[in-house]
Amino acid sequence: MCACKKNLPNLGFSRTLQIMMTKVLFVCMGNICRSPSAEGVFRHLVNDAGLSAVVGIDSAGTHSFHLGEAPDARAAAAARKRGYEMTSREARQVTADDFRDFDLILAMDWENLSAMQQQCPKAYQHKLMLLMRFANDFEEATVPDPYYGGPEGFGKVLDYLEDACQGVLELVRKRATQYQAA
């Protein structure tokens, strides 16, 4: 067995599928609003596209404020209204293994991108990006934090996430097509 297969984490998939799988991690500060919302939106898009067997999806926070907590009730309610599910998860913090294990690590804003850049080994820095770089309809560079605002902020966040996650979906679809052709 080649060394590249030996060091793969066991994510519950066959080793061959792990090689072909694109793993995406969404990151915000506390992992209770934006990143679990992005995870829910993207999971929905991936399932609808029939790519759930080749796309791994998770979310995390850069800070430990809400470890083990469920998503913010306002974020979950806004997501549910649009048909997204995110209630079966608990907040977690980004780990050193995440930098190795995920192919795309998508930050919601500059502060969280910067925090990850300080932690991330140089060999994996290329995986770190702002999620909004994949947006087509919105020109904003970041997804605003709705935590201290009203319910309308959670709707605006979902607007941004739907747009940007559609762009991420196109990238993972291309990767899946390339793997199938190889």
- Distance CA(27)–CA(131), nearest Å, equals 9
Q: DSSP string spanning 48-96?
A: HTT-TTTEEEEEEESS-TTTTPPPPHHHHHHHHHTT---TT----B--H
109 is catalytic: no
58 is catalytic: no
Going by C-alpha positions, the residue among 89, 107, 116 that lies closest to residue 164 is: 107
Give the pair of three-digit tokens for residue 148.
Answer: 């201290």
Given the residues 58, 98, 109, 145, the one annotated as active site: 145
CA 53 to chain centre: 16
Residues pairing with 55 in the sheet: 22
Q: Which amino acid is at 96?
A: A
89 is catalytic: no
Going by C-alpha positions, the residue among 17, 31, 87, 95 that lies closest to residue 59 is: 31
* Residue with token string 């470890």: 67
Given the residues 28, 33, 120, 165, the one annotated as active site: 28
Backbone angles phi, psi at 16, to 5 degrees: -65, -45
| Catalytic site positions | 28, 34, 145
